[in-house]
Chains A and B, each alone.
Chain A
Amino acid sequence: MRQSWWKIIAIALLLYTLAAGLLMDAPRLPILNETIRALHFHVTMWFGMILMLVAAVYYSIKYLRTNDILCDDLAIEFTNAAILFGVLGITTGMLWAKFTWGDYWSGDPKQNASAIGLLMYFAYLILRNSLTDTQQRARIGAIYNIFAFAAFIPLIFVLPRLTDSLHPGNGGNPGFNAYDLDSNLRMIFYPAIIGWTLLGTWIATLRVRARRIERTLEDRFLNS
């Protein structure tokens, strides 16, 4: 366990989230009822995903600057972890949507935007796999990663607000985001975001380390 303090924080925060998210008093809101608690589990997936994508873009930029292959490892693994969270987010979102909006897929712009975002990152994975040279794969992967992120941000933040959404306060529907979070919910929501993001980071770093071991072994094999 290298530098384990932040991993312990992640576990502690998540245990707190699980217990408090289920046990603490939640506001009693129509239609949402008890499912308001999904806030701490579903919405935080998206925040974790975005934060990890930001990290991936950061390492992509760093790779283009320095040509250090280790940065590329971090970029791809953060993206992988973000995709995992994204898939979990979209699945849990569909389940939640079924019970609050009546349909698994209700054409909500945010739902569509996140599906498109996932398509983008699947395309990124396919692009990477289609390249064989390590340096070229890293470079072109980094370029597309930054480019896709630049297209993803306006998509996820701007588009939903220009159309009627079942999500936040546009269109006056009773879905969850019509409500401003109060301090009680925030007390769980923010730690939950940090906890889930740290967990994702942990998984990502594990895979990065595995990759490095693999690379060292390969080099040794080639040199012997």
Chain B
Amino acid sequence: MKKLVTIALLVFSLSALAQEKTPVTAADYSNSTVEMADVMRSEGKIYVLVGIIVIIFAGITVYLINIDRKISKLERNLPS
């Protein structure tokens, strides 16, 4: 009973989520009046940016994997 009331209240508060929004249309993709970084893209420099970010992410991931393996090793050496 208590749980039902709680859930009902939560649903009630979530119902306030509904709202009006402007849909994004196909026209927005070809709307050339809005300035975008088109030059950078055409020169291909965006790939440099993607490369940098991906390398950083890869570095962090490798580091995380290393920690993971180290902890696994510790777990194995500690039969409980």
B contact patch SS:
helix
Interface residues in A1-54 by Cβ distance below 8 A to B read 1-2, 7, 11, 14-15, 18-19, 22-23, 25-30, 33-34
Interface: A209 (CB within 8 A): yes
User: Do the beta carbons of B50 and A209 come within 8 Å of each other?
Assistant: no
Interface size on B, residues (CB 8 A): 40
A212 to chain B, nearest CB (A): 8
> In the complex, which residues of chain A have a beta carbon less than 8 angstroms from the beta carbon of B64?
202-203, 206
A191 within 8 A of B: no
Least CB distance from A177 to B in Å reads: 7
Alpha-carbon distance between A28 and B38 when the two chains are bound, in angstroms: 11
Sort A-B residue pairs by CB-CB distance and give the 7 closest, nearest first: A27-B28, A180-B21, A28-B34, A182-B24, A180-B23, A28-B31, A169-B21
A interface residues (Cβ-Cβ under 8 A, vs B)? 1-2, 7, 11, 14-15, 18-19, 22-23, 25-30, 33-34, 153-154, 157-158, 161-162, 168-170, 177-182, 184-185, 202-203, 206, 209-210, 212-213, 216-217
